[in-house]
Amino acid sequence: MSHDDEKHLDLLAIFHYILGGIIALFSCFPLIHVFMGIMMISGQLTDNQGQGPPPAFGWFFVVIGSLFILAGWCIAACVAVAGRKLQTRRNRMYCMIIAGIECMFMPLGTILGVFSLVVLCKDSMKGIFDQPAIPPTV
């Protein structure tokens, strides 16, 4: 266990927190669809003749938009939890799985995911994660 390995894990934890926040922020973009759906349901989107889209179309926008937001926030939470686990040196396998999932979020997630996998696959990391959990330093 070297001092460099500890620094790498601390940096990876910080970057996981940052990426989790970025994913959560970008997951709010479908709010536009949710608001449009609410406007369709309430009848605020009408033409000159007072006709608008059917309410079922608005519900489609609300449900699908909400599902995308919820999925994005869940992924963001998982990334932030991985940062916490890296910081406390617990659950190496969970961190590796999340690093693999992060690779889908180009370009930042791919960079962080690859670096996380490279660091976590080193033999010295197995020893760090096998030790009792340490309290995080704030």
The Cα diameter of the chain in Å comes to 73
| Structure confidence at residue 138 (pLDDT) | 62
* pLDDT above 60: residue 1: no
* pLDDT above 80: residue 48: no
CA proximity to 82, closest of 107, 123, 106, 115: 115
Which secondary-structure segment (H or E) carries 67? helix 55-88
| Structure confidence at residue 110 (pLDDT) | 93
| Structure confidence at residue 62 (pLDDT) | 95
- Cβ(102)–Cβ(19) below 8 Å: yes
Number of residues in the chain: 138
* pLDDT above 90: residue 31: yes
How far is Cα 76 from Cα 130, in angstroms, rounded to an integer? 26
- Cβ(96)–Cβ(117) below 8 Å: yes
| Structure confidence at residue 97 (pLDDT) | 94
Does this model's pTM top 0.85? My answer is no
Tens digit of pLDDT for each residue in 71-120? 999 999 999 999 999 988 888 899 999 999 999 988 999 999 999 999 88
